[in-house]
Amino acid sequence: MTFIKNNLEFYTEDFLKTIFNTATESWVLTDSKGVIVMINPITEQMFGYSEDELLGKKIEILMPKPGRKEHVPLRQSYVKHPRKRPHGIGVEVIGLRKDNSEFPVEISLNYYKSSSETYALAVIIDITLRKEKDRLLQEAILEKEQLKREKIEAELQVLKNQVSPHYFFNSLSVLVPLINVDSSQAKEYVEKLAHSYRYLLEIRDKLTITVEEELNFIKDYEYLQKVRFKDKFDIEYKIDEKDLNKMILPFSIQILIENVFKHNALYKDKKITIEISSHKKGIIIKNNIIKRIDSKIESLGIGLKNIKKQYEYVAQNNRPIFDNTNDTFKAWIPFIEKED
């Protein structure tokens, strides 16, 4: 990986360089003028360019010519008003390879501000295979081939079962100032982030994982969020030892905890308490509710529906249960029977 500029503070750590190089999506970093200043190896593979061919070029080189002119004011507006835009909100566009072949991609955006520059990080996923699976799914439905349809749906869900990069982006935004304030804590923070990122890579292709594996990840995730939110929440673990080897969906607990931070107000004098406990052949994740002023109850549905749908494909008879009252939210996720 080559740097076209050498003042990117948050890439001074070898660990962060490793993450950039080993990411399973295309990562493209541009400056405020839309000039590509950094790419990872997946970008070279996806678009067919070498690193030297892309560094110093405008980001529009990676999109079809008809849309380039319209894209310029959009990226200029983004630099003036940068914001996080994670995967999964319907942003699908067309990418252009060096050989002029086009392919569908999904793009998430994040940003980093230094003292003199604003950088945009585009995380690009080739969704050609996903589109093909969607097409096959529609054919299966029309042909009423039930077994074929279920198989394709399950494969499709595996493709979509990726944790949005904004989890990692949020962690980086905490790390940057921490390096200058508390180098000792920054080192521990990087270690926890490394553990959690390794987990993401190791279980990405798995349909199920053990409760113990998920909890080890959650404890690293908890540490990262404690640094971010300080003492505004607590997590209590009440899992029976006999349940540690039981199987659940990957990221199911993490998604539920992330929803807590997303949809609740966090105050020092009124903590959010999250309890993770064993309960009737499953796990209960429970938290008190401290409503945000801008919170909309409908926004809770997306992540929960995704968990429900994934359980439909992986578990035969078990379904998660969600219970939302005025002051408490409970989620019960069942154990998944191991296949013989």
- The pairing of strands 102-113 and 92-96 is antiparallel
CA 198 vs. chain centroid, Å, equals: 14
What's the sign of the alpha-carbon dihedral 113, 118, 119, 121?
positive
Residues 6+ apart with CB under 8 A from 52: 2
CA distances from 168 to 36, 151, 331 (A): 21, 31, 25
DSSP 124-162: EEE-HHHHHHHHHHHHHHHHT-HHHHHHHHHHHHHHH--
Residues counted in the chain: 340
pTM of the model: 0.57
When the candidates are 2.30.42.10, 3.30.70.330, 1.20.120.140, 3.30.450.20, the CATH number that belongs to 9-126 is 3.30.450.20
Amino acid letter at 35?
V
What is the C-alpha to C-alpha distance for residues 89 and 167, in angstroms, rounded to an integer? 15
CA 216 vs. chain centroid, Å, equals: 18
- Within the chain, which residue ranges are assigned CATH 3.30.450.20? 9-126
- The pairing of strands 247-248 and 209-210 is antiparallel
Which CATH code fits 206-334?
Answer: 3.30.565.10
* The pLDDT of residue 228: 86
Model pLDDT for residues 50-94, shown as the tens digit of each residue: 999 999 999 999 999 999 999 999 999 998 888 877 654 546 789
pLDDT by residue for the chain (340 residues), tens only, comes to 444 444 444 444 566 677 778 888 899 999 999 999 999 999 999 999 999 999 999 999 999 999 999 999 999 999 888 887 765 454 678 999 999 999 999 998 888 887 788 999 999 999 998 888 888 877 776 766 565 555 545 554 544 444 555 566 667 777 767 777 788 888 888 888 888 878 877 776 677 889 999 999 999 999 988 888 888 999 999 999 999 999 998 888 988 998 898 888 888 888 999 999 999 899 999 999 998 765 544 454 667 877 887 787 777 677 899 998 889 999 999 998 875 4
Model pLDDT for residues 273-305, shown as the tens digit of each residue: 999 999 989 999 999 999 876 554 445 466 787
* The pLDDT of residue 181: 79
- Within the chain, which residue ranges are assigned CATH 3.30.565.10? 206-334
* Cβ pair 308, 319 in contact under 8 A: yes
